[in-house]
Amino acid sequence: MKTILPLLTVTLTLTLAQQASAAPLMPCCANKSTESSMQPATFARFVPEREDDFAWENDKVAFRTYGPALRNKGVNSGIDCWLKRVDYPIINKWYKQAQEGMSYHEDHGEGLDNYHVGSSAGCGGTGIWLNGKRKHLDTFTAHKLIESTAERTVFELTYEREIEGVTYGEVKTFTIELGKRLFKVDSVFTQDGEPASKLPICIGVATHDSKGEAFSDQDKGWIAVWEAFGGSELGTAARIAPERINSIKIVDGKAKDDGHIFIITTTDENGKLSYEAGYGWKKAEEIRNKQDWIDYLNQ
């Protein structure tokens, strides 16, 4: 017994020590990965598995727009709001869950996509303003991710469409930053390949067939819609430097997806135009009413 007990003790001690040193490795690494994916961050990517969407987000808001696979299929350059109520990234998760049969059109605790775009401008889509109407440039034809960090993501989408014998183009550079409800767009428009100087442009926010209340403050440079939405309420908006506004126009929704409030503006001498757009969702518990939304846009 005097010789066996020390051996048993040593063996047991070594076994416990080996378990203690080895066992934490996998949980530790898994926890770091999980913690990283749950941290607030900006993000954007092309989504070929969902008919060429391009989606982007930060800790407050998420969006998507439509690509080549949906060209001439009822949508265009309109911007869709993904209503999120968590501060961590959800884009990859929601698309993956959709492939597994869990729809992002239903709220499973993080938010949902119940915002209708259709053929409208959605939340901040642009168009050429011709003969008093928005002429969209269809879905994007090319995409490029320029920068992506936790604090800021920058990407580029290219649009082109022939309208009445003229080929119009737009290259939109999007910037989304952590903590902001509005993303920024820096656009360059062309006509037949040349910079489109002083081209009439509209920036639209859909009123969903005039069900939403459209309002604006031209002195502050913004247009907005507040609407009852899926058992909650939603504010959407677009904002531009006030001196760039030529007029603000509300279009009644007599036909489906026609209802909008528009900023009517023009490009500069180099075909350039910059603006912002975004949303505030009551269910996310920060923008709780129309006045909260107005106060945010006035900042």
Say how many C-beta atoms besides its own lie within 10 A of residue 262's C-beta.
24
Which among 214, 220, 207, 205 is positioned nearest to 262, based on CA atoms? 205
Which conformational region is residue 88 in: left (phi greater than 0), alpha (psi within -120 to 50 degrees), or beta? beta
pTM exceeds cut of 0.85: yes
Over the chain (299 residues), what is each successive 10-residue block's mean pLDDT? 38 35 36 62 98 99 98 97 98 96 95 97 99 97 98 99 98 99 99 98 98 98 97 98 99 93 99 99 98 99
Which among 41, 67, 200, 75 is positioned nearest to 132, based on CA atoms? 200
- Specify the pLDDT at position 62: 99
Q: From start to end of 192-230, where are the E strands? A: 194-195, 200-206, 213-217, 222-229
pLDDT tens digits along 4-56: 333 333 333 333 333 333 333 333 333 344 445 789 999 999 999 999 999 99
Q: Which helix (H) or strand (E) holds 63?
A: strand 62-65
Average pLDDT, rounded, for the chain? 90
Q: Which residues pair with 225 in a beta bridge?
A: 214, 236
The answer to whether the CB of 226 falls within 8 A of the CB of 215 is yes
Task: Report the alpha-carbon distance of residue 44 to residue 176 in Å, rounded.
Answer: 9
For domain 38-297, give the CATH number: 2.70.98
Task: Report the alpha-carbon distance of residue 257 to residue 5 in Å, rounded.
Answer: 83
- Specify the pLDDT at position 32: 40
pLDDT tens digits along 180-189: 999 999 999 9
- Specify the pLDDT at position 38: 87
- Specify the pLDDT at position 36: 56
- Specify the pLDDT at position 37: 73
Ranges of each domain in the chain: 4-36, 38-297
Q: Which residues fall within 8 angstroms of residue 155, CB to CB, at 6 or more apart? A: 44, 54, 56, 143, 144, 145, 146, 148, 173, 174
Task: Report the alpha-carbon distance of residue 173 to residue 157 in Å, rounded.
Answer: 7
